[in-house]
Amino acid sequence: FIGRSELVIGADTGLTHLASAFGLPTVAVFLATEPGLTGPRGQYASTLLAVPGKRVMPAEVVAEAERLAGLQVLGKANAGKN
């Protein structure tokens, strides 16, 4: 499942962390935990934090996913130049 994905969007779950560990572009939405302590890591990992009184809006998630996907495309293009 994860191995066939090109991008993963999820909450603070094991699958989201695995996707990040495999180097997939990953957007993780955090509600109650601190992403700086437990968030996914990696060049193509990003976290969005919903703080009290402020939601993470779908447009924010989509924009971040598009940004990460663009970074991955650039990374692959640059890797081919070596």
The CATH number of whichever domain residue 6 belongs to comes to 3.40.50.2000
Q: Does residue 21 have a pLDDT over 60?
A: yes
- The number of distinct structural domains making up the chain is 1
Q: Is the pLDDT of residue 38 over 90?
A: no
In this predicted structure, the answer to whether residue 75 has a pLDDT above a threshold of 80 is: no
Residues 11/28, Cβ–Cβ less than 8 Å: yes
Q: What is the pTM of this model?
A: 0.81
Q: Domain limits at 47?
A: 2-79
Residue 18 has pLDDT above 60, yes or no: yes
* 77 pLDDT more than 70: no
What is the pLDDT, as a whole number, of residue 73? 62
Determine the Cα–Cα distance for residues 23 and 46; give it in Å rounded to an integer: 12
Q: Give ∠ CA 16-18-23 in degrees, rounded to 5.
A: 100
